[in-house]
Amino acid sequence: MILKDKIVHVLGAGRSGRAAAQLAASHGALVTLFDSSDEILNPLDGIKCQAKASAEVGRNSSCDLLVISPGIDTYGEYVKAFSENATEMIGETELGYSFYSGKVIAITGTNGKTTTTELVQRIMSHSGTSCACCGNYGMPLSELVMLDEVPDSVALELSSFQLETIKTLKPKVALWLNFDADHMDRYTCIEDYKNAKLRIFENQTQDDFAIIRTGEDVGELKATTYTFTTEDQSSDFTLTGGKIFFKGEELLEIEQTRLRGLHNAENAMAAIGACLQLGVTAEQITPALKGFAPPMHRCELIRTLDGVEYLNDSKATNLHALDSALRSQSRPVVLIAGGKQKGLNYTALLPRLKQHAHHAIVYGEIAPELKKLFTQVVVTIQVETLSEAVTEANKLAKHGDAVLLSPGTSSFDQFKGYEHRGEVFREAVNKLK
């Protein structure tokens, strides 16, 4: 991409937007960074910054290239106004990809992306190929390509928001973990959300690879495809007796890692499948993943108190993640759920809730709706805050149970993000006597 003397406008002054602005400026572009906040702190050298940027400001601007940060609604009035007088519009990830020449392993799915991204990075690095996590997890791709030593490969986590704005991005290996309803507060229908995610395969050819969870409807693909699941022994990657196999060849005993639950076994399958296509050998898998623990806030064991495990799954921001967390539990569950109203329908969760939980505690904006629904299958208690929920769960849990925080929705009614929510849970659990 030739940017010298081009006028580039970047929307969003967060980490992704700032990285895009710096990257464009480093290639000779005339860059302006726009943000709707009252002030843009820590302005960047050589880059014009404009705070309080509105749709009206956008309609009165023009540029050769408009770059959008992933947190900004691609189809909203704000972006539409700025794009009216823009010759071309792309996202920050697409901009970064334009200046990257290494191997791209791209990961998408409604749930499990971050754990899988870390697994890919660990396997590739252990095998001798430098690799970094980037995209929706880790550093923005636009930031990575400006490093003094750019890694030979990237584990690129991609959200639907990032995939909306790609043009040429072509992963050597694309991973599709799973799909279920999410972000219905942004998309008009579930088909729009799915179509955005399917763009991960859009530019692949027969020389590339796709790793797909068995049973997922992704249409016809040009790439060579391999399947994985814990539920079907006819898949390419399978799980038997706690061990992962590829077409009958043993690759990994899950107990060698700190991964727990069927959903994490599938994340490992996907990551291993991707790395095998890039030259990693079967013998390198176990040494690479020995002792590996999932990222924080993803079915993370906080403590065991009086024989009760307290699990932090704050990253479960949608129905599918909550369902997966319940499915993976071998102990009776006291579930803590709730948060922001995202317009999701939780009715499909009821059979799983009935099977695995004996109590549910709900809180937050969506609590009244969840209580009305969950009461159909399990004793449900409504409280105001997460800290109150922990206190109630402690009273209800018996020796051998698991208290599972798996909210099933986002956190922005009471918290800054899922990390903040998880830390509040951790603090409340550690205060228990």
Residue 244 has pLDDT above 70, yes or no: yes
Domain boundaries, the chain: 7-92, 100-289, 300-430
**For the chain, what is the mean pLDDT?**
94
Mean pLDDT of 35-49: 91
Q: Are 273 and 246 a contacting pair, CB within 8 Å?
A: yes
Which residues, at least 6 apart from 106, have a Cβ–Cβ distance to it below 8 Å? 135, 156, 158, 169, 171, 173, 174, 175, 200
Report the pLDDT value the prediction gives residue 118, as an integer from 0 to 100. Answer: 95
Please state the separation of Cα 139 from the chain's center in Å. Answer: 13
Provide DSSP, 312-360.
E-TT--SHHHHHHHHHT--S-EEEEEE--------GGGHHHHHHHEEEE
Residue type, 123: I
Report which secondary-structure segment, H or E, holds 26: helix 15-26
- Model pTM score: 0.78
Q: What is the pLDDT of residue 234?
A: 95
Q: Which of 18-27, 117-126, 293-302, 345-354 has the lowest mean pLDDT?
A: 293-302
Q: How much is the pLDDT for 192?
A: 87
Write out pLDDT tens, residues 99-117: 999 999 999 998 889 999 9
Model confidence band, residue 185 (pLDDT cutoffs 50, 70, 90) = low
What is the spatial distance between Cα 25 and Cα 6, in angstroms, rounded to a whole number?
10
Residue 310 predicted with pLDDT over 70? yes
C-alpha 78/C-alpha 83 separation (Å) is 9
**CATH class of residue range 100-289:** alpha beta
* C-alpha to C-alpha distances, 178 to 64, 72, 116, 263, 358, nearest whole angstrom: 37, 24, 12, 10, 27
pLDDT at 186 over 70: no
**Is residue 183 very low, low, confident or very high in pLDDT (cuts 50, 70, 90)?**
low
pLDDT tens digits, one per residue of 275-305:
999 999 999 999 999 988 877 788 888 999 9
CATH superfamily of the domain spanning 300-430: Mur ligase, C-terminal domain (3.90.190.20)
DSSP 294: P
Answer whether residue 184 shows pLDDT above 60. Answer: no
| Res 219: pLDDT | 94
Tell me what pLDDT residue 182 has: 60
| Fold category of 7-92 in CATH | Rossmann fold (3.40.50)
135 phi-psi bin (left φ>0, alpha ψ -120 to 50, beta other): left
Higher confidence at residue 180 or residue 208?
A: 208
